[in-house]
């Protein structure tokens, strides 16, 4: 068999040694693909019966894994990856040199697996070593119905000095605003930028949570401290994993011996993932979050030759990410409709929805018809 499906935590635990071997032989050392992280995610966000991990084989050799989960949404069985409002990761763990074989065998095995109506895979990033996980050439083969959406994610590639980055990659308006904010910060009082790693970062974790919760995220209930218990358990476990692997980084801006901005990051191979940032809104006039990010970029460019890229993840509600990026990167969202009654029904509904969106008058007429049936 080219693939064996792992369906529960006991089977996942029995595969720990093989999983770790593949991880050490992969191109990108992503903490979110470590065995302990995958196990943590399932413990926090999945029921035991929903676990689906595709273990892909080449002969007797394990060449990769893709952790998935089955969700019931509006009566449809959706096979999706380990994502939610706080987890934007969709990469697969693949042994070096087996990327093409893995892609082909993975898709074949997923399509042969029963128990799902719709495959929904998201957050496969274009700078990943295994991108695209589901190429169009493979999806288009056979008589299957699918669609692909490509959306931007936000990155800064560290391919030049910090001065060149300011001069060549940022607009004159942004440079002017940065200079103004820097002068205001200088006049506000003695300040410094601090960087904590590993155990020191764990000790500062509560300081980060307090700052992130102090502003609009806390008021809107979207800060880590305001999330549901399973999310708080997830972050506690994630911090322990990142500290143990020496990938955890916390950055602070301190003014008059008080933290006024903080950023939570971790390293994933040659990428620094900037997960969350927060600031004290009492100091908003100083643009503390932006000042921290700019120092962060400058410090890495000057002192860390191993980091190639900073990733701020998708979605940019406030617009600050778009102002800082200097390259175009994207993530993919793949939807495959299985050849089942429910899968094909959902495909037809999706097509109908798309057609209606193209013709506003259809939407109005359909709403009128529906209103007469109430």
Say whether pLDDT at 136 is over 50. Answer: yes
Q: Which residue has the tokens 């288009």?
A: 140
- Whether 314 contacts 89, CB under 8 Å: no
- Whether 307 contacts 286, CB under 8 Å: no
Q: What is the pTM of this model?
A: 0.91
Q: In sequence order, what DSSP letters do the residues of 87-100 get, joined into one string? A: B-----EEBTT-HH
Say whether pLDDT at 33 is over 70. Answer: yes
Question: So where are the chain's domains?
Answer: 3-152+330-339, 155-311
- CA 301 to CA 165: how far, in whole Å? 10
122 is written with which tokens? 């998201």
- CA 54 to CA 104: how far, in whole Å? 13
- Give the DSSP letter of residue 2: -
- Residue 128 exposure: Cα atoms within 13 Å on the Cβ side: 23
Dump pLDDT digits (tens) for 207-229: 999 999 998 888 988 899 999 99
Indicate the pLDDT class of residue 372, thresholds 50, 70 and 90.
very low
Residue bearing the bigger pLDDT, 108 or 358 = 108
Question: Residue 305: its pLDDT value, please?
Answer: 76
Dump pLDDT digits (tens) for 234-264: 999 999 999 999 999 999 999 999 999 999 9
- Whether 336 contacts 136, CB under 8 Å: no
Dump pLDDT digits (tens) for 82-126: 999 999 999 999 999 999 999 999 999 999 999 999 999 999 999
Average pLDDT over residues 197-207: 96
CATH code for the domain defined by 3-152+330-339: 3.40.630.30
**Fold held by 155-311:** Aminopeptidase (3.40.630)
Average pLDDT over residues 191-207: 96
- CA 151 to CA 131: how far, in whole Å? 14
Indicate the pLDDT class of residue 304, thresholds 50, 70 and 90.
low
86 is written with which tokens? 């706080």
Indicate the pLDDT class of residue 63, thresholds 50, 70 and 90.
very high
Say whether pLDDT at 364 is over 80. Answer: no
Say whether pLDDT at 373 is over 50. Answer: no
Question: Residue 367: its pLDDT value, please?
Answer: 60
Average pLDDT, the chain: 92
**Cα-flanking dihedrals φ and ψ of residue 61, to 5°?**
-100, 135
Q: Do domains 3-152+330-339 and 155-311 have the same CATH topology?
A: yes
Say whether pLDDT at 303 is over 80. Answer: no
Share of the chain above pLDDT 70, in %: 95
């Amino acid at each position: 068999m080219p693939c064996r499906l792992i369906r529960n935590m006991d089977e996942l635990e029995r595969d720990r040694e093989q999983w770790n071997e593949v991880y050490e032989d992969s191109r990108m050392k992503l903490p979110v693909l470590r065995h302990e992280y995958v196990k943590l995610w399932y413990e926090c966000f999945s029921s035991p019966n929903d676990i689906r991990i595709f273990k892909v084989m080449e002969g007797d050799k394990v060449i990769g894994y893709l952790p998935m989960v089955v969700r019931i949404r509006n009566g449809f069985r959706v096979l999706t990856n380990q994502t939610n409002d706080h987890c934007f990761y969709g990469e697969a763990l693949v042994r070096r040199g087996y990327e093409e074989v893995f892609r082909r065998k993975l898709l074949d095995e997923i399509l042969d697996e029963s128990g799902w109506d719709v495959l929904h895979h998201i957050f496969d990033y274009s700078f990943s070593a295994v991108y695209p996980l589901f190429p169009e050439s493979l999806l288009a083969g056979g008589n299957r119905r699918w669609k692909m959406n490509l959306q931007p994610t936000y990155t800064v590639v560290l391919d030049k000095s910090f001065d060149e980055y300011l001069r060549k990659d940022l607009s004159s308006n942004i440079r002017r605003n940065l200079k103004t904010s820097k002068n205001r910060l200088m006049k506000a009082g003695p300040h410094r930028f601090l960087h904590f790693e590993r155990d020191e970062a764990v000790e500062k974790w509560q300081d980060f949570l307090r700052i992130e919760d102090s502003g609009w995220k806390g008021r809107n209930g979207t800060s880590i401290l305001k999330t549901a218990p399973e999310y708080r358990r997830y972050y506690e476990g994630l911090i322990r994993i990142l500290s143990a692997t020496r990938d955890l980084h916390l950055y602070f801006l301190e003014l008059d011996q008080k933290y006024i901005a903080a950023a939570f990051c971790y390293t994933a191979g040659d990428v620094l993932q900037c997960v969350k940032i927060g600031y004290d809104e009492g100091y908003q006039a100083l643009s503390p979050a932006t000042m921290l990010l700019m120092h962060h970029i400058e410090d890495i460019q000057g002192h860390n030759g191993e980091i190639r890229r900073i990733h701020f993840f998708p979605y940019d509600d406030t617009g600050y990410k778009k102002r800082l990026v200097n390259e175009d990167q994207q993530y993919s969202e793949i939807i495959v409709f299985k050849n089942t009654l429910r899968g094909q029904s959902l495909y037809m509904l999706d097509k109908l929805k798309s057609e209606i969106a193209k013709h506003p008058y259809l939407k109005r007429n359909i709403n009128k018809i529906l209103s007469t049936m109430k």
